[in-house]
Amino acid sequence: MLSHVISRAERLLKELLTKADIQVGGSRPWDIAVHNSRLYKRVLRYGHLGLGEGYMEGWWDAPRVDEFIAKLLSANVQKRVRFSLANILLLLQSLFFNLQARSRAFFVAKKHYDIGNDLYRAMLDPRLVYTCGYWKGVKTLAEAQEAKLDLVCRKIGLQPGQRVLDIGCGWGSFAKFAAERYGAEVVGVTVSAEQVKLGTELCRGLPVELRLQDYREVNERFDHIVSLGMFEHVGRKNYRTYFKVARRCLKDGGLFLLHTIGSARTKYANDPWVEKYIFPGGMLPSLAQIARTTEGLFVIEDVHNFGPDYDTTLMAWFSNFDAAWPELRAAYGDRFYRMWKYYLLMCAGSFRSRYNQLWQVVLSKEGVPGGYLSVR
């Protein structure tokens, strides 16, 4: 009976993979090799959680995991297994509980951002920018990240002496750039103690203050506000609160730039594998959710989607991580390598397929007099 169930699961999953032009045992970069036949039943029962855990445990491999994921998502295969047990449980949690409440705000830092500055220094560019680069007219990761930081400063019209709030400041990459290149004064808030520690060292001597603080606790006035790659941790139950905080902290006439990964469709829960292993409490917003929760608080001046640039950014991060792994291995272990490799390449595939988006949204409190001139 067990062999019959497993063979049926194998047949069903192979049929789904065929729809995405993926073969088990094929020779193309996106084809997969299955090392444990229990994978089929695991994926059908647990969806992406089962697929990701199967990869972490060595149950399957592919020469190009990023291409495999891009093929799956482009063919909408995930819709056939989206109502897995893991998805249903996480959806119920998200509906009935505030998984991003203030009491849980620092949990994602312990799980992800505080795991080791040596890892991030090896993986990221010299400025330690952990958000999507802007690859227009540039060739290297360092150039793409500087171009993105400069793009942000130009979009808000940053001037010398202006004071900026950076919600989710990371290691202070924007703060340092804005202070050095534009003569700005920056206050950054993050829930990561390791980011504050290293970021403060990197910004020493500049008019930059990095704080270990939840965004809901900020109650000061700033000329402009930026938030780069932090909104993904806010959660739909807190979107309105987040924008109310931004409004009360933004001076009249100032601009707020929101840089966030997003979903083309409104969702109510995180991906179960990402929730368990990478970003607990994460949730990707849709433009509809952003529009609804800013209504009456902000005027949306500009929306810029450069999601495909995140594919390039993630592949550069993986290349750096992979090259540095011999030095990192003793501290993190082989299971971490497969988890982190899957995380980076799976995300790259999601942007390559256009399943995920990257938006920069510029907002004003009452509308820019005469209109906002879009900056690219």
- Please choose, from the candidates 158, 98, 91, 111, the residue with its C-alpha nearest in 3D space to the C-alpha of residue 276: 111
Span 224-263, pLDDT tens digits: 999 999 999 999 999 999 999 999 999 999 999 999 999 9
The domain spanning residue 126 has which CATH number?
3.40.50.150
Confidence of residue 82 (pLDDT cuts 50, 70, 90): low
What are the backbone dihedrals phi and psi of residue 146, each rounded to the nearest 5 degrees, phi first? -65, -40
Q: Which of 50, 82, 114 is the last residue of a domain?
A: 82
Span 284-294, pLDDT tens digits: 999 999 999 99
- pLDDT averaged over the chain? 92
Q: Are residues 50 and 129 in the same domain?
A: no
Q: Are residues 220 and 165 in the same domain?
A: yes
Q: Is residue 320 domain-resident?
A: yes
pLDDT at 1 over 50: no
Q: Are residues 249 and 356 in the same domain?
A: yes
pLDDT at site 342: 98
Is the Cβ–Cβ distance between 150 and 226 less than 8 Å?
no
What is the mean pLDDT of the segment spanning 261-276? 91
pLDDT at 90 over 60: no
Render 301-354 in DSSP notation, one character per residue.
EEEEE-THHHHHHHHHHHHHHHHHHHHHHHHH-HHHHHHHHHHHHHHHHHHHTT
Q: Are residues 223 and 273 in the same domain?
A: yes
Q: Are residues 243 and 343 in the same domain?
A: yes
Q: Are residues 286 and 356 in the same domain?
A: yes
pLDDT at site 44: 86
Q: Is residue 371 domain-resident?
A: no
Render 60-129 in DSSP notation, one character per residue.
EE-S-HHHHHHHHHHTTGGGGSTT-HHHHHHHHHHHHS-TT-GGGTTHHIIIIITS-HHHHHHHS-TT--
Q: Is residue 91 domain-resident?
A: no
Q: Are residues 260 and 184 in the same domain?
A: yes
33 in helix, strand or coil? strand
The tokens for 360 are 């920069």
pLDDT at 99 over 60: no
Helix, strand and coil percent figures for the chain, each rounded to 5:
50, 15, 35
219 in helix, strand or coil? coil
What is the mean pLDDT of the segment spanning 135-155? 98
Cα dist from 224 to 20, 150, 156, 229, 367, whole Å: 45, 15, 7, 17, 14
The residue assigned the tokens 């704080």 is: 211
Q: Is residue 141 domain-resident?
A: yes
Q: Are residues 71 and 109 in the same domain?
A: no
153 is catalytic: no
Q: Is residue 373 domain-resident?
A: no
2 vs 336 pLDDT, higher one: 336
For residue 286, the cross-strand partners are none
Q: Are residues 229 and 318 in the same domain?
A: yes
Cα dist from 113 to 158, 192, 197, 296, whole Å: 28, 6, 12, 34
Number of domain units in the chain: 2
Q: Which of 82, 112, 144 is the last residue of a domain?
A: 82
301 vs 4 pLDDT, higher one: 301
Q: Which of 31, 52, 82 is the last residue of a domain?
A: 82
The residue assigned the tokens 């640039």 is: 309
Burial profile 177-192: b = 16 or more Cβ within 10 angstroms, e = fewer: bbbeebebbbbbbbbb
User: pLDDT exceeding 70 applies to what percent of the chain?
Assistant: 91
pTM, 2 dp = 0.93
What is the mean pLDDT of the segment spanning 319-347? 98
Q: Is residue 89 domain-resident?
A: no
Q: Are residues 208 and 341 in the same domain?
A: yes
Confidence of residue 152 (pLDDT cuts 50, 70, 90): very high
d(CA 64, CA 281): 28
The residue assigned the tokens 């433009």 is: 287
- Host domain of residue 232: 102-364
CA-based Rg of the chain, rounded to a whole angstrom?
A: 21
Q: Is residue 198 domain-resident?
A: yes
Which is the catalytic residue, given 153, 169, 203, 347? 347
Q: Are residues 67 and 195 in the same domain?
A: no
User: pLDDT exceeding 90 applies to what percent of the chain?
Assistant: 84
What is the mean pLDDT of the segment spanning 139-151? 98
Confidence of residue 100 (pLDDT cuts 50, 70, 90): low
d(CA 114, CA 133): 22
pLDDT at 21 over 70: yes
pLDDT at site 180: 98
Q: Are residues 20 and 167 in the same domain?
A: no
Is the Cβ–Cβ distance between 260 and 285 less than 8 Å?
yes
What is the mean pLDDT of the segment spanning 318-331? 98
The residue assigned the tokens 């999507």 is: 132
Is the Cβ–Cβ distance between 123 and 321 less than 8 Å?
yes
pLDDT at site 85: 54
The CA angle 62-66-71, to the nearest 5 degrees, is 90
What is the mean pLDDT of the segment spanning 19-35? 97
Q: Is residue 217 domain-resident?
A: yes
d(CA 196, CA 166): 13
